[in-house]
Every structure is written in structure tokens, then in C-alpha cells.
């Protein structure tokens, strides 16, 4: 299979210093593999409520300003809903997806009855209320039958090796529960969309921010349930805001300035530093293209890509 990497931004805001790190890292990882490898860009606008109009185009322009050009036309998730529909259909047919009528309040009350509090970053571990039916409530979401699927798998926690962080493990049933695949009012959940897209685009190597590490076990379970191959994973270091929190669009991370070639090079340089790469000046690189080329062998040495 042709080695394929991707950058998959959500158009909820412009590229900021943190998301540029993921873009640069995924680009370098592909280029370090040689000319046959492909770098794709996918605009993750499946969760339409959080997306801002025109932001996908703005991100593509920021990437282009940094000379980060995809090898194929970008894909937009909103144009791919038939694929998600088909995947959900396959899970339903096998009894691995079920409708859930619980509101947040219902889930909180059920958890309180069970003596459980919110764990995992304040997220609720779904207590399984609707596994045996909707109890007369209208469906609000489709959930993955995590426990049922895991029962068909070898026992034990789900393990994978991250190329930077090493061995990772998660007991998905206990730590996450039956997660949402689609909300009944339409939007597709990130977990389902990303798994379907990575598989159908032939993505072999996922490189993305460390904040997403925690989603990987869920995605591997879904890949197995849908009969898709599992790519390799590398989660990149996060850029911290002044208060130590992860820099994100939600906490108002500033858009990177790519308005001039010098500004774009400075933004790339800052991203490269986070990845442990030398500044462009050290390689006498005068523009983004030159800087990118200088980092390819460094990336290969640092992150041990297959040449
Ligand atoms: N769309 C996700 C984000 O912007 C990234 C998804 C991924 O790389 O798997 O956080």
C-alpha cells in the first residue's frame, strides 16, 4: 500500500501555533518516507455546529502560505456522509450500534444511582441504560456497543504503540463506555468519521497532536469492528498557553500569521522547535520550502521513519 499521511483540521478556527505543529509533523513524516508517499488534507467539518464558515478555506490558505501543499485535492467531511451512513449501517446490522435516548441529565442520574462520578476529563462513562431498548424515549444518539464488541476480542486492555510516546493502553469499556457514533439530530461523531475516512483514504500513518492520544483506542476498536486496517500513530508534543493549558481554539489561541513569507517562515520555525528540529537559519534556509527540505532528514533521524 502507498504510504499515506494526513492533516485533518477541524474548521472551528484558523490554524494556531499548536495545530501548525501537527500539520508540519504529518507533512515531514510523509516526505521522510520518499517521493511515493502521499500527504493529504482533510477538513473535518462533520460536526457542523462547531465549524465556522470560510474557515476551511482559510486553513488551506495558511497551509499554502507555509508551503504545506497536499498531494491531492482536500477532502471535506460534509461531502462524505454517505460513507459514514454505510459504516453505521454495517455496525447496526451486526448489533454493534444501538440507539440511545438518554439526555445528559439521565446519564448523570443513572451514574449517581450507581454511585459513580464523572471521570476522565469530566466526561461521562455511559452506564449502558439503553443497551436493552429505548424505554419509550426518542432516540438522541447512536452508540457503539463497546462491551459487546470487546467480548468478541482477545481479553485484556486495548494496547497500541505510539511512535513517540511508546506503549499505550486503555480499557475502553471501563474508561470510556459505549461512545457516541452519531447524534440523532444529524452530526456525525469525530470517532466514526475519522475511522471511516482514514481507512477509505488509505491512511497508513497518523501523526497528530498529543491531546488526541486518548481517542486512539476507541478508533482502533472501531477499525476492528469495521474490518479496517490500523495505521501507525505518532502524537506530537502540545504547545502550551501561558497558563500551562493546552493551546486550543477554545482558549483563544491566536491564528498564526502567514501574511508574508517571513511571517510564515517564523511560524514554521516555532513549530519545528516544538518538534525538536533545528531553526531554519541554522540550515541557511531562506524560505518555507528550503526550511521544510532541511527538516526532512532530521525528522527521519529523530522519529525513525522507514526511509
Ligand atoms: N479534527 C481533529 C482536530 O482538529 C483532528 C483529528 C485527527 O487528526 O485525528 O482536533
If you write DSSP's letter for every residue of the chain in order, what string do you get? ---EEEE---TTS--BHHHHHHHHHHHHHHHTT-TT-EEEEEE---SGGG--TTHHHHHHHHHHHTT---SS--EEGGG-HHHHHHHHHHHHHTT-EEEE---HHHHHHHHHHTT---BTTTB-----GGGG--TTPPP-EEEE-HHHHHHTS-SS-EEEEETTTEEEEE-HHHHT-S-EEEETTSPBPHHHHHHHHHHHTT--EEEEEGGGGGGHHHHHHHHHHHTPPPPEEEEEPPPBPTTSSBP-TTTTPPBP--SSHHHHHHHHHHHHHHTTPPPGGGGT--SHHHHHHHHHHHHHHHH----
pLDDT of residue 208: 98
**pTM, two decimal places:** 0.93
Q: Which of 5, 6, 7, 9 to mutate to test the pocket of ligand 1 (most atoms within 8 A of CB)?
A: 9
- In the beta sheet, which residues pair with residue 42? 75
User: 46 CB less than 6 Å from ligand 1?
Assistant: no
CA of 220 to the centre of ligand 1 (A): 15
Where in the chain do CATH 3.40.50.620 domains reside? 4-79+239-303
Is the pLDDT higher at 247 or at 228?
228
pLDDT of residue 116: 77
CA of 10 to the centre of ligand 1 (A): 6
Where in the chain do CATH 3.90.800.10 domains reside? 93-182
pLDDT of residue 36: 95
Q: What is the mean pLDDT of residues 166-180?
A: 94
User: 40 CB less than 6 Å from ligand 1?
Assistant: no
pLDDT in tens, 60-97: 999 999 999 999 999 999 999 999 999 999 999 999 99
Does residue 244 register a pLDDT over 80? no
pLDDT of residue 206: 98
pLDDT in tens, 25-42: 999 999 999 999 999 999
Report the 10 Å Cβ neighbour count for 189.
21
pLDDT of residue 249: 61
The CATH number of domain 93-182, selected from 3.40.630.30, 3.90.800.10, 1.10.1760.20, 3.40.47.10? 3.90.800.10
CA of 283 to the centre of ligand 1 (A): 31
Across the chain, mean pLDDT equals: 92
CA of 9 to the centre of ligand 1 (A): 5
Q: What is the mean pLDDT of residues 243-269?
A: 83
pLDDT in tens, 114-135: 887 666 565 678 989 999 999 8
CATH fold for domain 4-79+239-303 = Rossmann fold (3.40.50)
CA 296-301-303 angle, 5° bins? 90
Q: pLDDT grade, residue 307 (50/70/90)? A: very low
Contact partners, residue 11, CB within 8 Å, separation at least 6: 43, 44, 45, 51, 52, 55, 56, 58, 59
Does residue 306 register a pLDDT over 60? no
Does residue 166 register a pLDDT over 70? yes
- In the beta sheet, which residues pair with residue 205? 5, 232
Amino acid at each position: 500500500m502507498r504510504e499515506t499521511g494526513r492533516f485533518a483540521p477541524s474548521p472551528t478556527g484558523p490554524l494556531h501555533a499548536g495545530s501548525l505543529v501537527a500539520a508540519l509533523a504529518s507533512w515531514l513524516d510523509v516526505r521522510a518516507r520518499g517521493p511515493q508517499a502521499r500527504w493529504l488534507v482533510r477538513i473535518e467539518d462533520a460536526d457542523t455546529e462547531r465549524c465556522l464558515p470560510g474557515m476551511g478555506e482559510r486553513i488551506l490558505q495558511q497551509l499554502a502560505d507555509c508551503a504545506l501543499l497536499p498531494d491531492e485535492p482536500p477532502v471535506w467531511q460534509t461531502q462524505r456522509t454517505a460513507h459514514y451512513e454505510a459504516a453505521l449501517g454495517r455496525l447496526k446490522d451486526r448489533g454493534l450500534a444501538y440507539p440511545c435516548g438518554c439526555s445528559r441529565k439521565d446519564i448523570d442520574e443513572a451514574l449517581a444511582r450507581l454511585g459513580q462520578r464523572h471521570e476522565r476529563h469530566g466526561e461521562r462513562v455511559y452506564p449502558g441504560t439503553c443497551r436493552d431498548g429505548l424505554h419509550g424515549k426518542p432516540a438522541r444518539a447512536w452508540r457503539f456497543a463497546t462491551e459487546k464488541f470487546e467480548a468478541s476480542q482477545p481479553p485484556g486492555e486495548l494496547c497500541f504503540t505510539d511512535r513517540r510516546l511508546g506503549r499505550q493502553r486503555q480499557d475502553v469499556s471501563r474508561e470510556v463506555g459505549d461512545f457516541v457514533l452519531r447524534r440523532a439530530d444529524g452530526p456525525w461523531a469525530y470517532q466514526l468519521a475519522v475511522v471511516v475516512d482514514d481507512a477509505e483514504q488509505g491512511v497508513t500513518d497518523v501523526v497528530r497532536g498529543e491531546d488526541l492520544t486518548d481517542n486512539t483506542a476507541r478508533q482502533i476498536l472501531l477499525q476492528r469492528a469495521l474490518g479496517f486496517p490500523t495505521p501507525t500513530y505518532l502524537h506530537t508534543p502540545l504547545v502550551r498557553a501561558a497558563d500551562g493549558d493546552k493551546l486550543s481554539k477554545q482558549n483563544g489561541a491566536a491564528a498564526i500569521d502567514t501574511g508574508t513569507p517571513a511571517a510564515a517562515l517564523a511560524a514554521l520555525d516555532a513549530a519545528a522547535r516544538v518538534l525538536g528540529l533545528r531553526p531554519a537559519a541554522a540550515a541557511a534556509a531562506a524560505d518555507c520550502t528550503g526550511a521544510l527540505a532541511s527538516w526532512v532528514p532530521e525528522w527521519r533521524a529523530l522519529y525513525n521513519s522507514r526511509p
